[in-house]
Amino acid sequence: MSPQGGSMTVRRPFRAVASVAALVVLAALALAALPGCQGGGKKLLHVGEFGSLTGGQANFGISTKEGVQMAMDEQNAAGGIAGVPLEVTVYDDQSKPEEALTAVQKLVNADGVIAVLGEVASSNSLAGAPVCQRAGVPMISPSSTNPKVTEVGDCIFRVCFIDPFQGRVMARYAYETLKLRKVAVLKDLKSDYSVGLTEFFTRAFTEMGGTVPVIQTYSKDDQDFRAQLTDIKAKGPDGVFVPGYYTEVGLIVRQAREQGITAPLFGGDGWESEQLTRIGGPALEGCYFSTHQSMENPDPVVQNFVKGYRAKWNKMPDALAALGYDAAKLLLGGLKQLSEQDPQGFQALQGPATGANREGRVAAQRKLRDLIAATKDFAGVTGKIHLDENRNAVKSAVVLKIQDGKFTYAGTVEP
């Protein structure tokens, strides 16, 4: 529930959990007091979000939700879009693709949202995206980097770079900056993100002249990686690429050091979480990962976001929060353009997705999709966002080094 009056409702589709249920009650009470709420019979713009608020990627989902909520609260405090307030319904998909599918089905078919924000994990976005595509509902993923996500259809967008670029970034950084020539890989076999990033890294690194002597595998929620690490150590690599998520990565790095592997370990944006350093501890010193922005960037756009986020949430933001904020701002920009260019269509979005309003609403969502697809040079916190013909953001990446237990800026790589 936001300080500005509660523009966000958090729900969990199935099992009732006390804390989540409490949030729903509080949000409902707050919404009842808002002008423009459904209960009051007034108009509003109803947006959906699905994310991992519990489970293995909960840190990502919570950061993203906070970024989205910050953007929405700022917009509502400024009068909404053309005077119409926004409401966001959020479902927890528990870091599971099957729950993500159910959450998006509820948002689109039962709640009748005008657009969907989410998810972070590529596997979860791939589960939900076909529902939005079939219904013609624009969906913007903050940070799903697997190319397959936007290949689902022309209603699916993202504000992050994609894995072919991220794979090249870390291959170049490993080969040119770290001077590595023999890199082993340990990937999550069941993650589209991890499998895709492995492919793109391996291709780029070997094209540069490096070798990949072994690719070992694990599965999400595994706890013991010693057998894989023993095999990796036997191959004598001078680096280990681990394109996974922070929960398993923290354990892998710790067990790698216990096994006597001293070579640097590195990965992608799935590493960025406070939980990584809590799990991996000192074993992470000297490791690297690519991500979307450094909060140390002195750019006023970045520092204004950091200042606002700290004031709202009493903590430092991470790149996932910034991407959630950017995804929401991109949608808000599209809605603002729609309100100016097509007032009748904008009005249709404020009504139900049924009856006489349905046809106008479908046309308005198509127009909204077109406006989002035309995004050029959008000044996001995570950089200037330009959407290409496949609705993927073309933008730079940064590399962070873990030093003294902190994520420190190591370099920027342009597309």
pLDDT confidence of residue 152: 98
Helix, strand, or coil (residue 300): helix
Q: Please state whether the peptide bond connecting residue 119 to the residue before it is cis, i.e. omega within 30 degrees of 0.
A: yes
Name the DSSP letter for residue 34. S
pLDDT at 353 over 60: yes
pLDDT digits (tens, 9 = 90+) for 233-246: 999 999 999 999 99
pLDDT exceeds 50 at position 115: yes
| Angstrom distance (rounded) from CA 244 to CA 249 | 6
Mean pLDDT value across residues 3-9: 45
The strand order across the sheet containing 378-380 reads: 378-380, 383-387, 393-394
* pLDDT confidence of residue 21: 37
Judged by DSSP in three states, 188 sits in strand
Q: Looking at per-residue confidence, does 57 or 317 come out higher?
A: 317
- 33 vs 198, residue with greater confidence: 198
Q: Is the pLDDT of residue 254 over 60?
A: yes
Confidence (pLDDT) at 42: 65
| 79 vs 73: CA distance, rounded Å | 10
Query: Which pLDDT score is estimated for 25?
Result: 37
User: Residue 13 pLDDT more than 60?
Assistant: no
Rounded to the nearest 10°, the torsion over CA 120, 122, 127, 129 is: 80
- Distances 348 to 43, 89, 319 between C-alpha atoms, Å: 10, 19, 34
* Contact (CB, 8 A) for 181 and 209: yes
Between 38 and 195, whose confidence is greater?
195
Instruction: Choose among 368, 369, 362, 375: nearest CA to 338.
Output: 368
pLDDT digits (tens, 9 = 90+) for 281-291: 999 999 999 99
Q: Residue 212 corresponds to which tokens in the numbers above?
A: 């990949």
Residue 33 has pLDDT above 60, yes or no: no
Q: What is the mean pLDDT of residues 55-73?
A: 95
pLDDT band at 56 (very low <50, low <70, confident <90, very high): confident
Q: At what angle do helices 319-341 and 358-373 cross, to 10 degrees?
A: 120
- Which of the pair, 38 or 395, is modelled with greater confidence? 395
Mean pLDDT of the chain: 90
Closest to 352 (Cα-Cα) out of 66, 118, 55, 45: 45
pLDDT of 345 strictly over 80: yes
Among 40-54, 248-262, 392-406, the minimum mean pLDDT is found in 40-54
d(CA 35, CA 44): 9
Model confidence at 82: pLDDT above 60: yes
- Asked if 191 contacts 249 with a C-beta cutoff of 8 angstroms, the reply is no
Closest CA to 266 of 247, 284, 292: 284
Percent of the chain having pLDDT more than 90?
A: 82
CA atoms 226, 228, 229, 235: torsion sign: positive
Q: What integer is the mean pLDDT of 403-413?
A: 91
Report the pLDDT value the prediction gives residue 352, as an integer from 0 to 100: 83
Give 41's pLDDT tier (boundaries 50, 70, 90): low
36 falls in which pLDDT band (50, 70, 90)?
A: very low
Task: Measure the CA angle with vertex 130, ends 129 and 132; round to 5°.
Answer: 65
| Closest to 365 in 3D by CA, of 71, 159, 155 | 155
SS (H, E, C) 41-90: CCCCEEEEEEECCCCCCHHHHHHHHHHHHHHHHHHHHCCCECCECEEEEE
pLDDT of residue 43: 87
Whether pLDDT at 24 is above 50: no
